[in-house]
Structure 1
């Protein structure tokens, strides 16, 4: 996507990182660059607003769910195998940062879990 206007950062690049921006997962320099683009590009700001509303909706409808006991047990077992430590306490909470249903982005794919 491009709005046709010249920007320091391309529209498609900004939109591919919009979830990182929403989740405060980018460094300060990148955050400022994305914010600057959103301040001057109405189409990207509009898309950002849609994603922001989607995040809020997900938080309202899916927030606060706890992970199933079986998942916690498997995580503990895996951590034990990996670290070799005797006791591993893991508290898992499913939050809206899990974005499997959100628009795909290569920058997020390395953060997703198949468990």
Structure 2
């Protein structure tokens, strides 16, 4: 997705890291870059609003469910693998 307008930060980069922004998991300097882009780019702002709404809906509908500890550990392990540049392994079918 791109609005075809020139921006300091590419729309693709913004959308690739949208959930880091939504979850407040990115450094303040990057958050400022995202806010600036959102101020300039209506399509990205619209996508942000949509994803924010979906996140709120999921939290409202599923927010009371406890996450199994082993699932949480597996997800965190995969996130760390991806962040360190590795390739996550797929679980065996079954």
TM-score category by the smaller chain?
A: 0.7 to 0.9
Superposed displacement of residue 65, structure 1 = 1.1
Which structure has the highest helix share of the two? 2
The corresponding residue for 1:10 is 10
Matched residue count: 81
Whether 2:91 is the aligned partner of 1:110: answer no
Higher relative contact order (CA 8 A, sep 6+): 1
TM-score (norm 2): 0.72
Equivalent residues in 2 for 1:71-110, closer than 5 Å: 72=69, 75=70, 110=82
What is the alpha-carbon root mean square deviation over aligned residues?
3.0
Structure 2 stretches of 5 or more lacking a match?
A: none
TM-score (norm 1): 0.60
Moved over 4 A (4+): none
Structure 1 stretches of 5 or more lacking a match?
A: 76-91, 99-106
